Amino acid sequence: MAEPLLEVRDLSVAYRTDAGDVVAVDRVSFEMARGEFLAVVGESGCGKSTLLYAITQLLSPPAEIAGGEVRFGGRNLVTLDGEELRRLRWRGYSIVMQSAMNALNPTLSVEAQFGDAMRAHGPAGDEEVRARSEAVLKLVGIDPVHRRSYPHQLSGGMRQRAMIAMALLFDPDLVVMDEPTSALDVVAQRSLMRQIKDLQERLGFAVLFVTHDMSLVSHYSDRLLVMYAGQVAEIAPTRVCFDTPLHPYSQGLFGGFPSIHGPRLPLVGIPGSPPDLLTPPSGCRFHPRCAQVMAHCPVVSPDLITVGDTEVRCLLYAPNQGRPEGAAIAAARPAAAPVEVVT
Amino acid sequence: MRFVARRIGLFVITLWAALTLNFVLPRVMPGDEATAVLSHFRGVNPAALHALQVEFGAGTNQPILSQYLDYLGNCLTLQFGLTASRTPVSTVILQGLPWTLGLVGITTVIAFILGTVVGMIGAWRRGGIFDSLLSPFLFILTTFPVFFIALVLLFTFAVALGWFPISGAYTLATRPSLTLAFVGDVLAHAVLPGLTLVITTAGTWIYTMRNNMVGSLSADYVRMARAKGLPTWRILLNYAGRNAILPNLTGFAMQLGFVLGGSILVEYTFGYPGLGYLFYTGTTNHDLPLQQALFLFYTLAVLVCVLLADFVTAWLDPRTREA
Amino acid sequence: MAVPAVTAEALPAPTAAGATRRLWTSILRNRKATAGLVLLGLIVFVAAFPALIAPGDPHAAIYGQQEGPSAAHLLGTTQVGEDVFTQLIWGTRVTLIITVVVGLLATVIAVAIGVTAAYIGGAADQALSLFTDVFLIIPSLPLLIILSAYLQGSGTVAIIFALTVTGWAFGARQLRAQGLAMRTLEFLEAARARGERQTWIVAMEILPNMLSLIVASFLGSAVYTVAAAAGLQYLGLGNSGDITWGTMLHFAQQNAAIESGNIAWALAPGAAVALLGTSFALLNYAFDEITNPALRAVRKRRGRAAA
């Protein structure tokens, strides 16, 4: 892979509570290339939003980064000096939050909020702010006259797109999105996703997209990262992950979608519930719910194992420890293709 | 526009209610207040007597409705009759007005600014030393009655330490003038009463402000502001602060009723010759015309402030305009 | 193998008995609440048994005039020679009675008007709200002074009446707000679906859940009344025959007690008023904390990992 845009290495986040530390993100590692669309999926409570805020350095007490690095543009954001970090914000990477109604200041106009961001990073005259505001609004398909509007005057979909417009003010290299479609209806969701993909192709930024709606994102993402109980369970190119998931958890996740065209099959869910992160299960965190659990799963904590173009945290595929079927699958996998996104 | 109309409507209705209360009460109360007041007036100029009669409806054969209309007319043209010492009520009120206006006006502004800043800091450094000391401190300030704080200050700084004068708005023997010396004298006399009012007014406001700030600081738009790389002061002011203050501006104005009540007690304690002290002397002299007029003035003051607060809120908070 | 779930399950609909029991345990565990109860208990004791603490006659003007504190007179004497300490102790009863009676009356009126407005809705609600707003805006002390002026000579009852008239509006507004919020709660829908009668619903489901707000309303009224009653009496509008803390303050101020150094007389009644107000305020804050957990002292307890 060419020099990655974002490198996350062994990132851990803990919530300091009276009852002890809850490790919401446990030694997560992955990379992103320029212009790549990486989707992070998982159940509620798996730590994906926390991961997002940790990467963008937006955690609030009692959550704090407990270890690891986040390398962006060659610099480690975790240890970056306050002022340098502030200068990097929004210019290098920006964020789109889940609810635009809550993320936009209700007492300031759209243009004023754009202007705030612009003026935080250098002098910007009124004319400049106006011009740039109109430009980004046009980008997302909003009539520029709405720059004077207040958030409550826009429809839900428009608000979300206004947030995206704001995220693109400085033409960043990476846009991080936290479930931006969850608050919208199905039609608006599709429309927004298409718009995001279109913008990505035009402007070339990378997208880190957190969602629990796997079917929606699978049409647009290049790679999929499945999280479980604060850890990376599986990372693979989207189609590969969706069609042939390796981790028993992913299999349960993707197996849960009935096909309109295919034969009728009984729905197979995943029994049990996500673990309490204050006292997570020993060994592999998924073992209490796993249909393919082996004798040593409760004992050994698996690392991420490379299986062709997939990385999976499961002992099934561990050489010498896994099952023969696992080894067979591993042998059958094509080698990892270099992830290059043509812009 | 509808918002403006509604607020003005409330203003007019409340004013009307206060006026009517003043009209109705002497006519329904047991006891003979009217006669008692009238008895003060024995052997005095008949025009004043007549005015009083009209005011109380005593000794006239007018139907009540025309009495009411006469009364309303008088009030709106600021004819409030005469005081017990036979000076026009309006003259007396105008003498006391500037002192109260100055005292209450300035202390309210100071209390508001102080309350906002302290509340913001307390919320920003929530759980820190400042904040944890703030709570018990504030608690004392807001639960101790105004007159107690006034008396304590009076004793400590005027009597025991002798730093400030005990009473009055200025040293009685001097003539009012615009010299520096006189202004200094006035300020010296205003410190203790002013301090009392600032302490009691700021107390509740700090508490409200801090709690609101804690709420708005945890909002997503504040996290968004951080994400954009905005400087801290800007986040506190335009994002957290703005959203914390605006919904409560009207509430702050409504508290003014308590502030004004407190100012009456403060003026009494410090012998400060404002409207509050007048109110007090009015009660000892059974001076109903004066008391009624003062009641109306105080009500009007609160109404005007509430209306102002409503307009400022509408100006700064775009959501209210649609309501 | 079931593992304890992280996600919170929906809480069962609150019941009347359960709510009351939970309330009691929360009260006893809260420091402010215990402090307030102890303080209030002390004052109630003094009000109930004044002779045990100060066996003299508060009206007896037989001692030396305007003396400072001494062994014989813990808080000195008044300008006509009464013992200040005795007056302070014996004055507790009337003060407390006024406070409690006004608190109860004001709260009853507030509940009646506030809850009615919330449930009837429509034009009646608009009218009642307007009525409440008018009384909320009209400044209380000036209104109190006017009312007392007209009622002079009717003594303690007059004060109670005046204080009630000015004290109910705030509670009414809060109760109406909560009433409106509760109208749409699901467990009420469920009760209606079960076919329970309207009044039954109000009595058994709603009022117990508003209990905390009603109690808070009472406490708030009490805090207001303590200071307002004393303030009125301080200005000289109380029943001068009665001995209360406020009237003591009035006479002290009239006789320049502070200036002549007899600060015990001037400040002690004020301190007593402050203490009584504080006890109710402590209870009020404690109730606020109990019913609104967000206000509790910051404890870093967000155990569930956010998704």
B137-182 pLDDT, tens digit each: 777 777 889 999 999 888 888 887 878 877 777 777 767 777 787 7
**Is C234 in a helix, a strand, or coil?**
helix
pLDDT at residue C10 in the model: 43
Residue-wise pLDDT for C267-297, tens only, equals 888 899 999 988 888 888 777 777 665 555 4
pLDDT at residue A223 in the model: 94
**Is A237 in a helix, a strand, or coil?**
strand
Query: Chain A: nearest CA to C18, how far in angstroms?
Result: 27
Length of chain A: 343
Report residue C4's pLDDT band, with 50, 70 and 90 as the boundaries.
very low
Tell me the chain B residues in contact with residue A166 when contact means C-beta distances shorter than 8 Å.
Answer: 228
CA A317 vs. chain centroid, Å, equals: 25
Instruction: Report whether A227 contacts A47 (CB < 8 A).
Output: yes
Asked if C299 and A18 come within 8 Å (Cβ–Cβ), the reply is yes
Query: Chain A: nearest CA to B108, how far in angstroms?
Result: 25
Q: Does A49 touch chain C (CB under 8 A)?
A: yes
d(CA C147, CA C164): 11
Mean pLDDT of B260-275: 90
Find where tokens 């100029």 sit.
B45
pLDDT at residue C77 in the model: 76
Asked if B268 and C140 come within 8 Å (Cβ–Cβ), the reply is no
Nearest CA in chain B to A87: B229
Q: Does B125 touch chain A (CB under 8 A)?
A: no
Tally of CA atoms within 13 A in the half-sphere of A303 that contains its CB:
5
Mean pLDDT of C155-170: 87
Instruction: Select the more confidently predicted residue: B323 or C97.
Output: C97
Instruction: Select the more confidently predicted residue: A62 or A38.
Output: A38
pLDDT at residue C45 in the model: 87
Peptide bond just before C69 cis, omega within 30 deg: no
Instruction: Select the more confidently predicted residue: A315 or A336.
Output: A315
Mean pLDDT of B189-200: 90
For the cut 50, the answer to whether the pLDDT of residue A154 exceeds it is yes
For the cut 60, the answer to whether the pLDDT of residue B49 exceeds it is no
Instruction: Report whether A7 contacts A76 (CB < 8 A).
Output: no
Single-letter amino acid, residue A190: R
Q: Does B260 touch chain C (CB under 8 A)?
A: yes
Mean pLDDT of C204-211: 71
Residue-wise pLDDT for C31-50, tens only, equals 777 888 888 888 888 888 88
Contacts of B43 (CB under 8 A, 6+ apart): none
Mean pLDDT of A218-222: 90
Query: Chain C: nearest CA to B45, how far in angstroms?
Result: 25
pLDDT at residue C251 in the model: 86
Report residue C3's pLDDT band, with 50, 70 and 90 as the boundaries.
very low
Residue-wise pLDDT for C103-134, tens only, equals 999 999 998 888 888 877 788 888 888 889 88
Report residue A339's pLDDT band, with 50, 70 and 90 as the boundaries.
very low
Single-letter amino acid, residue C197: R
Mean pLDDT of A22-30: 91
The dihedral formed by the CA atoms of A134, A202, A151 and B115, expressed in degrees to the nearest 10? -90
d(CA C147, CA B24): 12
Report residue A71's pLDDT band, with 50, 70 and 90 as the boundaries.
very high
- B with C: how many residue pairs have Cβ under 8 Å apart? 155
Weakest mean pLDDT among A12-26, A136-150, C256-270, C292-306: C292-306
Instruction: Select the more confidently predicted residue: B221 or C116.
Output: B221
For the cut 50, the answer to whether the pLDDT of residue B41 exceeds it is no
Asked if C6 and A276 come within 8 Å (Cβ–Cβ), the reply is yes
| Most confident segment among A123-127, A321-325, C52-56 | A123-127
Instruction: Report whether C227 contacts C100 (CB < 8 A).
Output: no
Asked if B230 and A106 come within 8 Å (Cβ–Cβ), the reply is no
Asked if C145 and B288 come within 8 Å (Cβ–Cβ), the reply is no
Of C137, C227, C295, the CB nearest to B254: C137
Weakest mean pLDDT among A220-229, C54-63, C195-204: C195-204
For the cut 90, the answer to whether the pLDDT of residue A7 exceeds it is yes
Nearest CA in chain C to B152: C267
Weakest mean pLDDT among A307-316, A326-335, B183-192, C273-282: A326-335
Q: Does A99 touch chain B (CB under 8 A)?
A: yes
Report residue A207's pLDDT band, with 50, 70 and 90 as the boundaries.
very high
- A with C: how many residue pairs have Cβ under 8 Å apart? 76
For the cut 90, the answer to whether the pLDDT of residue C208 exceeds it is no
Query: Chain C: nearest CA to A275, how far in angstroms?
Result: 6
Report residue B38's pLDDT band, with 50, 70 and 90 as the boundaries.
low
Query: Chain C: nearest CA to A270, how far in angstroms?
Result: 12
ipTM (interface pTM):
0.82
Q: Which pairing describes strands A310-312 and A305-307: parallel, antiparallel, or unpaired?
A: antiparallel
Instruction: Report whether B78 contacts B297 (CB < 8 A).
Output: no
Nearest CA in chain A to C307: A45
% of chain B exceeding 70 in pLDDT: 87
For the cut 80, the answer to whether the pLDDT of residue A342 exceeds it is no
Nearest CA in chain C to A16: C300
For the cut 90, the answer to whether the pLDDT of residue A166 exceeds it is yes
Q: What average pLDDT does chain B have?
A: 80
Residues 137-176 of B with CB under 8 A from C: 139-140, 142-148, 151-152, 154-155, 159, 166
DSSP string, B155-206: IIIIIIS--S-SSSSS-TTSPP-SSHHHHHHHHHHHHHHHHHHHHHHHHHHH
Residues 198-227 of C with CB under 8 A from B: 223, 226-227
| Most confident segment among A44-48, A265-269, B52-56 | A44-48
Asked if C305 and A15 come within 8 Å (Cβ–Cβ), the reply is yes
Q: Does C157 touch chain B (CB under 8 A)?
A: no
Weakest mean pLDDT among A79-88, C115-124, C249-258, C291-300: C291-300
Q: Does A204 touch chain C (CB under 8 A)?
A: no
Instruction: Report whether A43 contacts A250 (CB < 8 A).
Output: no
Tell me the chain B residues in contact with residue C285 when contact means C-beta distances shorter than 8 Å.
Answer: 139
Instruction: Report whether B314 contacts B321 (CB < 8 A).
Output: yes
- A with B: how many residue pairs have Cβ under 8 Å apart? 78
| Most confident segment among A83-97, A276-290, A314-328 | A83-97
Q: What average pLDDT does chain C have?
A: 77
Tell me the chain B residues in contact with residue A102 when contact means C-beta distances shorter than 8 Å.
Answer: 219-221
pLDDT at residue A118 in the model: 93
d(CA A169, CA A154): 19
Of B151, B257, B295, the CB nearest to C267: B151
Nearest CA in chain C to A13: C305
